[in-house]
Structure 1
């Protein structure tokens, strides 16, 4: 029993030394081990490819008015052109240990969920409904699974203390304010007036899923995360960066869908080719704080000179040897002569 106890103690110390050396050299990954996030997001990529690819290949299936069909055709094309490549690249780089890619992965999942809602609710029921539904469900559960596997403490160690989070969070709050004002500026006069359905002119829809998800989910989430990020809360910092990544992709998507919608019906009030460069510029502007944010993530202490690294590892090993010797002396003292 004594021998087993001694062996156990030695093993524990060896593991402690190993962990100390690993931690000293590299910050722990933000994503815990496990295949579930990769598997679910991989299946999502297949579902998104099917939903978007079939929508682009068979536009007549959409069944809405010309401008609405054009918008959704552009949305599907953007998913194929921007969303899926971003998802696959982010997953691959996260698997190699990149926390920057992990932030983009989460933001890309948010973008795909947004587009899945549009495919499900911004087009009349059609033959692709079950494919759209699969796309929506997998997007939602991929986010839940990825968040479940997130180690916020480890994420915090990957963020440099020099990150100008007040500037990034302030920009995000400004973005939320502008977007909210734009939507409420349309909604409030309409719902307080005699013809609230004027909000839907030219859409042939029963409601507007853009207003619904922006005002009920995404804008409150971005605002709350930014406020928490101001206090350097890990989850607020993570979600703020992810929301910026999502908004870059969303602005690019809007630029594409406005172009297709306007060319399908130049007289429609729901699409304008003039908005394509506007949202392309918006994507570029949002990319600035996103790039600044990502520049301060994955800041590992690998810039320590090699000599300092060797001295640190040597000191760790000496401390481990000292602990083993002390344990051996205690063991000898307990046994007696």
Structure 2
């Protein structure tokens, strides 16, 4: 299976980098861009800052090394695309309508289809080969289960009591129904992906190594915006954040960040493949 980054992958990723940079700069520089309560506006602007300082560099570095046929770079690139798919879907749904709405939708769409295109052309056996014997699959699979359960408990603690009492969740009452976007994305996509990665990793299936790397890079990249936004909301009075909710917000992303670093460090460099020139020179 092909593993090199195709030309359209490069063009689409560069488009995401350019649009994301422009959108975040507008959000930071333009007064009144976000039409929301002051506490939420502050969290949106800090989210823009973390996109510029973390999300964009991760995607750019991943593209650079993936373009040089690096398995480690490919995992970072795919994780960066997963992050952009997640963050721009969340922004398009959560942020009150403004002039950049179609830009948000475009960023979500381009990131999603580029991610899918990159995944289907990934050589999973090659990724597994760089980690074979160097990754404790039981440890990583168990840790992923803990991360998935942490996210599930975090959001279900909002949803289940509301369903039992027949009242809207407190978050939806305070910040509006669009604030439930994270519940939808995490419970509907992220948590199942984490559990799937764990199940495949326990069985040492090739795609388990790929999915594990991608979800860990996604979690590590989300650590900054989620952590910062949680702290801002806890300090303000716009949205109520309980100590339990705060704990379950920080735990999964902290575990993901640590495991992502160790996962990437565990990937052994591949031996250089002989070039045509080297082949011609050999006796």
Q: Same fold (TM over 0.5)?
A: yes
Partners of 1:33 and 1:245 lie apart in 2 by 18
Count of aligned positions: 277
Describe the SS at the equivalent of 1:158.
Answer: helix
Cα gap change, 1:277/1:192 in structure 2, threshold over 3 Å: closer, same or farther? Answer: closer
Partners of 1:213 and 1:83 lie apart in 2 by 18
Q: Which residue does 2:226 correspond to in 1?
A: 254
Partners of 1:190 and 1:277 lie apart in 2 by 20
Q: What whole-Å deviation, never above 9, does each CA across 1:133-176 have from its counterpart, x for those lacking one?
A: 11111111121121132122333333233321111111011110
**TM-score, scaled to structure 1:** 0.73
Q: Say whether the 8 Å CA contact 1:40–1:138 is kept in structure 2.
A: yes
Corresponding position: 1:268 with 2:238: yes
Partners of 1:67 and 1:205 lie apart in 2 by 17
Q: What whole-Å deviation, never above 9, does each CA across 1:199-231 have from its counterpart, x for those lacking one?
A: 412203345100001001111011111101111
Q: Which residue does 2:105 correspond to in 1?
A: 133
Q: Which residue does 2:260 correspond to in 1?
A: 290
Cα gap change, 1:42/1:176 in structure 2, threshold over 3 Å: closer, same or farther? Answer: same
Partners of 2:243 and 2:53 lie apart in 1 by 19
Answer 1 or 2: higher relative contact order, Cα 8 Å, separation at least 6. Answer: 1
Describe the SS at the equivalent of 2:3.
Answer: coil
Partners of 2:243 and 2:149 lie apart in 1 by 25
Gaps of 5+ in 2: none
Q: Which residue does 1:170 correspond to in 2?
A: 142
Q: Give the superposed CA RMSD.
A: 3.0
Cα gap change, 1:112/1:284 in structure 2, threshold over 3 Å: closer, same or farther? Answer: same
Q: Which residue does 1:36 correspond to in 2?
A: 8
Q: 2:270 aligns with which of 292, 300, 317?
A: 300
How far did 1:191 drift?
1.5
Describe the SS at the equivalent of 1:61.
Answer: coil
Q: What whole-Å deviation, never above 9, does each CA across 1:21-62 have from its counterpart, x for those lacking one?
A: xxxxxxxx9723521222211111111112222112225122
Describe the SS at the equivalent of 2:238.
Answer: coil
Q: Which residue does 1:192 correspond to in 2?
A: 164
Cα gap change, 1:76/1:276 in structure 2, threshold over 3 Å: closer, same or farther? Answer: farther
Partners of 2:217 and 2:111 lie apart in 1 by 16
Q: Say whether the 8 Å CA contact 2:148–2:252 is kept in structure 1.
A: no
Partners of 1:100 and 1:30 lie apart in 2 by 16
Cα gap change, 1:259/1:272 in structure 2, threshold over 3 Å: closer, same or farther? Answer: farther
Q: Which residue does 1:144 correspond to in 2?
A: 116
Describe the SS at the equivalent of 1:195.
Answer: coil
How far did 1:287 drift?
2.7
User: Which residues in structure 2 correspond to 1:84-95 (within 5 Å)?
Assistant: 84-95=56-67
Q: Which has the larger radius of gyration?
A: 1
How far did 1:126 drift?
1.1
Partners of 1:46 and 1:224 lie apart in 2 by 32
Q: Which residue does 1:66 correspond to in 2?
A: 38
